[in-house]
Every structure is written in C-alpha cells, then in structure tokens.
Amino acid sequence: DMHKVQSVASISKVMTAILALEKGDLNATWKTGKELKQAYGSMIYLKEGQQVSLRSLLYGLMLRSGNDAALEIALHIGKTQKKFVQMMNEKAKELGMKHTQFKNCTGLDDDIKSGHFSSAYDVGLMSRELIMKHPGISKYSTVWMDTITHKTKKGESQFGLTNTNKLVRFYDGITGLKTGSTSKAKYCLSATAKRNGLNLIAVVMAAPDHKVRFSEAQALLDYGFANCSLYQDDYSGMKFDSPAIRGGIPEKLTVYPKKSFSHTFTAAYDKNKIEKKITYQELKAPIKKGTTVGFITYSYQGKTLGKVPLLAMQ
C-alpha cells in the first residue's frame, strides 16, 4: 500500500525542514512574534519576543518535533503559515509526490478529509530530497539528547531535547530522520541509514504502537542492506577517445564525464558483466567548453542501467 493516502502527523515536518534549508540561512536570528500562541501539542516552549536562530529551531524541529519550532520556521520563511504551506505543496508537486497535500506546517490534527495527507512512497520521496540534498540534516536528526537555550528579557534558560527517533541509539549507520504520531495517523516513521555508500529509506505508516514502528523500520532496513549492493564507477583506467570535430582547430576534442556513475542492485550481480559503451554525437565546430558531446551508457544483461554525459574540456 505504498500509494495509499494516509494521515502523516509530524512526518510532515520533513517538508518544513526541506524549505528551511533550501530557502533559509542557518545563521539567521530574529525575535518571535505573537503568532506563537497558535502552537500547541509537542513543543520546545518558545516565548513571544524570544531571540531564536534557524539553526536552533532545526534542532527543536528534528529532535523534539516542536510544533512551535515548525510554526516559527514557517513564519520566517513564508511570512505567513498560509504562504509557507503553499510553498510546501509546490515543492511536493516538484518532487512528484502525487498523493500528498499539506494544510499546515506541523502535521498536527491532520485529517484526510480536511486535506492534509500523504503516502508512504511520497514520504520516501521527500525524505530522499532532505537527506541527499541536505546531508547536514543528520547533525540534527541523529543527536540523541541536547539542550536549547531560550533567550528572553528575563534572561536565559535551558530546555532539554530528546530525540523521538529511538533508532539513533542503536541502529548501525542511521542518518535520521523523522517520527510522527497522532490518534488518527497512529505511529509513523521515516528512517534513513547509510552503509558502504548505500543510502536506504524505510517508511512505516499507521503502526499500532511506537515499538512496532521502530522494529518494522529496522526490519526493512536490514532487508535492504542484506539484498542491495552499490556499483560505482570512478573511471579509473578508462580511456576516452578524442572525437574528431568537423572544421575544428584542433581537429580532436578532449572529453570528460560529467559525474561519477552509481547504480543500486537489488539482487546479486557480477560486476564483470556490466557493459560500458561510449557514443559521440556528430561534432561540428564551434563547440563550447562544457557542451555535452556524447554519453557513456551502462547496461547489465541487456538492460540499460543509466547514462553519463561526456562534456567538452575546451
């Protein structure tokens, strides 16, 4: 049921974190406003007029799942929560999340009928966006315990934070990411882990209790690491022909791959049977540096695995 529409609770905050890192400055500081009164539920207990930073709010968001932290981030990035939610939905559409719609930045009191929902697959898509585009989020999502300093006119006070994701305590290679639970959504978890260069995401929705969500996510990740393996090509020892250019001075062009190639196999494979084929386009001067002039195509047992563009070096 990976595409089944579900209540997602605080896993919604994965999208809040994406927009915070995509559009915000971690070093930005400001004073909180009156809108904080709208927040309730899981909190880090921010006060009106308190000096905060986006960096500290991310800790509150990812560790404690603070609804007040999420709201303050939304107000800072979007100016209003309504505008921020619009940005959340636009990003969801951009990521291809076809079974998702957000109504708020927290996931609190989400309800399918009210229009706040997602699916396990879509949660996986936005989790991948967060963990791969912003790997630094692991600094926030894998801390077990920390404190946040509240600065107000009355002085400073410390508030303890404990990670809601229990897997960070014992699962090898865990990189995050986010829990969620309400009476409607039950217990949800998007768990991310990395071993030997292989990144996996396990999503569990509507588990009956918190222990089940962690045990099921662990079982999924264990299965993935046992059955998946990563092939990577760094082009060492690989020679690239210098293609001829009609009307070119010089007549030969030096090329280089745009990026390294990697592919995740979900079953056993023979590395020696991976085929690489270099093809060039018909080249005619002038050619600009960085222009795509050909491709390396990777295939295995007749199936194409992917392509890497070859670019002109001059």
Report residue 155's pLDDT band, with 50, 70 and 90 as the boundaries.
Answer: confident
pLDDT tens, position by position, 164-197? 999 999 999 999 999 999 999 999 999 999 999 9
Burial letters 52-91, b for 16+ CB under 10 A, else e = bebbbbbbbbbbbbbbbbbbbbbbbbbeebeebbebbbeb
Mean pLDDT of the chain: 92
Count of CA atoms in the C-beta half-sphere (13 A) of 144 = 7
Report residue 258's pLDDT band, with 50, 70 and 90 as the boundaries.
Answer: very high
Rg of the Cα atoms in the chain: 24
Q: Give the pLDDT of residue 106.
A: 94
pLDDT tens, position by position, 198-226? 999 999 999 999 999 999 999 999 999 99
152 touches 47 (CB < 8 A): yes
Q: Mean per-residue pLDDT for 12-21?
A: 97
189/218 Cα distance (integer angstroms) = 11
Residues marked as catalytic: 10, 13, 65
Q: What is the full DSSP assignment across 128-175? A: HHHHHH-GGGHHHHS-SEEEEEEEETTEEEEEEEE-S-GGGGT-TTEE
233/236 Cα distance (integer angstroms) = 8
Note the pTM of the prediction, 2 decimals. 0.87
Residue 48 DSSP symbol? T
CA-based torsion, 35, 37, 42, 47: positive or negative:
positive
Query: Would you call the peptide bond into 286 cis, given omega within 30 degrees of 0 as the criterion?
Result: yes
148 touches 56 (CB < 8 A): yes
16/19 Cα distance (integer angstroms) = 5
